């Protein structure tokens, strides 16, 4: 059986990663969302264990020292990490995983998992990003400012060129189609199909 493929999706908060992730998860079989641990407080409507596993800083620190994250990072003053268990289970059982993680986490995964596929999702420009963050209205103004500064830093060519794909999320349907196509065509790459073909022919 082929190993599960990790699909990494990074990009500024407010760029539409969550909506895109939900869209492809609804459309594709054998694709699971990697639920991260975070020390951030839940936003309205977020479900523990589904959107994130919300934990204390002390518990996060314990998990780090036990080596239970495949990557972790400090983002906007909160800690985030991808639990090792779920990631490895998916890999060995051939389930593809969708990870919504920041550029620091993506760079850690790039070093250890060369088979992963890296996508960067962007709004058309900074003005649209600001507008989307204001409409989302779940962050205080000060956070919006911080997020815009960070978005500028994260979209430097030196960071973007590390990604296999860049998706501009202007029209949601088109962006969804792009992410969908990336996943479907990656699954068909001959190097990922050889095992299956060998066992059937
Ligand atoms: P938010 O708090 O808005 O849900 O997410 C803030 C940022 O943290 C986003 O850029 C998101 O991609 C990133 N993030 C979420 N989970 C993880 C994770 O497990 N690891 C890393 N490195 N970043 C994460």
Residue 45 CA to ligand 1 centre (angstroms) = 17
What percent of the chain clears pLDDT 90, i.e. is strictly above it?
Answer: 85
How far apart CA 81 and CA 117 sit, in angstroms, is 18
Residue 196 CA to ligand 1 centre (angstroms) = 34
Residue 123 Cβ contacting ligand 1 at under 6 Å: no
Q: Tell me: the pLDDT tens digits for 139-165?
A: 565 678 888 998 999 999 999 999 999
Residue 6 CA to ligand 1 centre (angstroms) = 16
Ordered by start, the domain boundaries in the chain are: 6-196
Q: What is the pLDDT, as a whole number, of residue 138? A: 66
Question: Coil, helix or strand for 81?
Answer: strand
Q: What is the pLDDT, as a whole number, of residue 134? A: 87
Q: What is the pLDDT, as a whole number, of residue 195? A: 86
pLDDT band at 196 (very low <50, low <70, confident <90, very high): confident
Q: Tell me: the pLDDT tens digits for 6-15?
A: 999 999 988 8
Q: Tell me: the pLDDT tens digits for 107-134?
A: 999 999 999 999 999 999 999 999 988 8
- CATH number of the domain located at residue range(s) 6-196 in this protein: 3.40.50.300
Question: Among 117, 101, 141, 108, which Cα is nearest to 12's?
Answer: 101
Length of the chain: 201
User: What is the signed CA dihedral for 59, 61, 66, 68, rounded to 10 degrees?
Assistant: 80
Q: What are phi and psi of 8, to 5 degrees?
A: -95, 130
Site to probe by mutation for ligand 1, drawn from 75, 119, 121, 155 as the one with most ligand atoms within 8 Å of Cβ, is 75
CA Rg, the chain, in Å? 17
Q: Tell me: the pLDDT tens digits for 60-115?
A: 999 999 999 999 999 989 999 999 999 999 999 999 999 999 999 999 999 999 99
């Amino acid at each position: 059986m082929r190993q599960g493929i990790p699909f990494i999706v990074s990009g500024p908060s407010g760029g539409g990663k969550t909506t895109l992730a939900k869209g492809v998860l609804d459309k594709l079989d054998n694709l699971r969302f990697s639920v991260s641990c975070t020390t951030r407080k839940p936003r309205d409507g977020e479900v523990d264990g589904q959107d994130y596993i919300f934990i204390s800083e002390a518990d996060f620190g314990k998990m780090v020292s036990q080596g239970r994250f495949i990557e972790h990072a400090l983002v906007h003053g909160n800690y985030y990490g991808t639990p090792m268990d779920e990631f490895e289970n998916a890999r060995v059982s051939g389930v593809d995983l969708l990870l919504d993680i920041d550029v620091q986490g993506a760079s850690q995964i790039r070093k250890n998992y060369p088979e992963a596929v890296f996508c960067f999702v962007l709004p058309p420009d900074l003005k649209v990003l600001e507008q989307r963050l204001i409409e989302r209205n779940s962050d205080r103004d000060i956070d919006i400012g911080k997020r815009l500064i960070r978005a500028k830093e994260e979209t430097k060519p030196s960071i973007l060129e590390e990604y296999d794909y860049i998706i501009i999320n202007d029209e949601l349907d088109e962006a969804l189609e792009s992410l969908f196509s990336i996943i479907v065509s990656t699954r068909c790459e001959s190097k990922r199909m050889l095992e299956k073909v060998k066992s059937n022919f």
